[in-house]
Structure 1
Amino acid sequence: MKRGRYIVEIGIGTDLHGGNFTKAAQRAVKDAMSRSCLCGLFDIVGISDPNQMVVEIRVGCSEPDKVNIAEVQATVPFGTVTTEIVAGGLHVQGLHLSALGEGDTIVVAVAALTVYIDIP
């Protein structure tokens, strides 16, 4: 069977206090997912189970080695999920408020989610 792209969606996520790259990446993935309703997979393509899709996550952040890939993948509730973390995004100095987290680093991550489906 041939695999085809159904949708590519972009999201942005931040951690404003604490410099947590995983949180920023998860929020970017959630942001991308919140922009799409994949009803066409059921109504037009005819899948019967959302686990039939393959979801490819690609996240850009300034320190890729600080992202917990398993936690980012767990953000996607359905499908076979693959994840790649690459250099990108940014981090800047923010405001330290110890009640909200350690440090004063604002972390920004960008995510691209691509949904694939097998085409008979």
Structure 2
Amino acid sequence: MGEYKRFVMEFGFGVDSHGQDPTNACIKAVKDAISRVYIIGLLEINIKDFKIDALLGVPYPESVDINRLTEAFPIKKNLSIKVVKGGLIDYGAIMEEFNDKNTEIIMAVASITVSVEV
């Protein structure tokens, strides 16, 4: 097995404005990060293997549904996800029609690293 070297890093931001769901905020942060990266090199150059490491910071990390979060990644091969306490909470208004439980607005940040085996 060869050595892995970082190939690309990208960062994203996600907000769950209503519903107070940290998983939704994380999914949006992941999609924001990966929407700016097109890694054609994984197919066009001689790379043996690759891995993806995702680090997310969000309020209430223990409430994040890792299975739902995994579905946000188009490639799940060698995927490692770590969710830690971070992100931000701000306060808006309760809108019952959006299933708000309180006035919290949940914000998450994501750091996605793709490493290649050389």
TM-score by length of 2: 0.89
Equivalence for 2:65: 68
Q: Which moved more, 1:85-94 or 1:16-25?
A: 85-94
Alignment partner of 1:56 is 2:53? yes
Equivalence for 1:19: 20
Equivalence for 2:42: 41
Deviation at 1:94, TM superposition (A): 1.2
* 2:99 alignment partner, one of 98, 101, 104: 101
Query: What SS does the aligned partner of 2:107 have?
Result: strand
| Contact 2:4-2:50 at 8 Å conserved across structures | no
Structure 1 runs of 4+ with >6 Å offset: none
Equivalence for 2:85: 87
Q: Distance in 2 between matches of 1:25 and 1:80?
A: 19
Q: Distance in 1 between matches of 2:89 and 2:67?
A: 22
CA root-mean-square deviation: 1.5
- Equivalent residues, number: 115
Amino acid at match of 1:46: N
Extract unaligned runs of 5+ from structure 2: none
Q: Distance in 1 between matches of 2:62 and 2:112?
A: 20
